A and B are shown apart, each in its own frame.
Chain A
Amino acid sequence: MTHPTVAEPWVAGPLRRLMDDARLISGVLLYPTGKAVGQFGFSSAADVMSVCALTSAINASARELGRQLDGKPFLEMHHAGVDRQVFMARCAAGPHELLFVGVFDRESSFGVVEIYFEEFQKAIEKLSPATEVRGKGPSGDFEGELNRSLDALFGPLGK
């Protein structure tokens, strides 16, 4: 199992614990804008870029769908495939909203992932995001933010 790589060091500990406890195969923590904060289980920046873009889009769609159907955004999403399952949920570090998407198989279960994600949410909340979160608000430069965060996770491309 690979260690998480992080663009913002304050998430390294909680992300590692979540990965180990919930027995996740891979996962990405990101801002809703698509900027990656940390990841594990991926070896390619292109894969993380795809996950970030898709997660960001799915979150926006699911949030709006939740508002229309239930009057409030959905909190989490789970898709059970034949061999692998995807879990997607939100968490907050102070005023900053974050998204997490994780993949697991039969070595874990949705219930187990849910309870350890709750612990992850509490751990993230306890951190001091006011001083530790270096993320700025959305700049509107989706591609630029995504590329900068991927550079932080995997190193600059072509160097």
Chain B
Amino acid sequence: MKGAFAEIVTTLSHLPGVVAAMIVGASDGLIVETSPMKGAASGGADSRKHTAALAAYLYSKVTRASDAARLGTPAFMRLEAERGQICVVGARDVVLVTIVTTDANLGRVRLDMMKAARDKP
């Protein structure tokens, strides 16, 4: 299982524009598997733990909003910020989270994240 998760984050992190890819516990927000953060200064503050916890939390709230609107389970969540984006896809007990640059190929990121979520062991 751990090997399969490592493969997923490695594949996602190699996509153009992906700064980091993570698999995060859906209920606890803890990182299960993560890629290194591209461009992060050695010894600098690592924001992955914060991003993972808050992205999983946000996704759980989005799921509730989607349920309330009778839209079913959200397929893909994208948060667009000034200097990049956060993409989240639910995969049962975990969520896949990627941090991507503004110029990333979002279509490819979305497709590969959804494929990874579908094929997740």
| Chain A residues near B (Cβ < 8 Å) | 80, 106, 108-112, 114-115
Nearest chain A residue, comparing its CB with the CB of B25: A111
Classify chain B's interface size. Answer: 10 to 19
Quote the shortest CB–CB distance from A93 to chain B (angstroms): 23
| A115 to B45 CA separation, bound complex (whole angstroms) | 13
| A111 to B51 CA separation, bound complex (whole angstroms) | 10
Interface of B is mostly: helix
| Chain B residues near A (Cβ < 8 Å) | 24-25, 27-30, 49-50, 52-54, 56-57, 60
Query: Which residues of A sit under 8 angstroms from B27, Cβ to Cβ?
Result: 106, 109
Is A109 within 8 A of B50, CB to CB? no
Query: Which residues of B sit under 8 angstroms from A115, Cβ to Cβ?
Result: 49-50, 53-54
| A115 to B30 CA separation, bound complex (whole angstroms) | 10
Query: Which residues of A sit under 8 angstroms from B24, Cβ to Cβ?
Result: 111
Q: Which of A106, A111, A112 has the most CB of B within 10 A?
A: A111
Query: Which residues of B sit under 8 angstroms from A114, Cβ to Cβ?
Result: 30, 49, 53
| A108 to B52 CA separation, bound complex (whole angstroms) | 14
Quote the shortest CB–CB distance from B15 to chain A (angstroms): 25
**Complex A-B: 26 CB contacts under 8 Å:** A80-B28, A106-B27, A108-B57, A109-B28, A109-B53, A109-B56, A109-B60, A110-B28, A110-B29, A111-B25, A111-B28, A111-B29, A111-B30, A111-B52, A111-B53, A111-B56, A111-B57, A112-B53, A112-B54, A112-B57, A114-B30, A114-B49, A114-B53, A115-B49, A115-B50, A115-B53
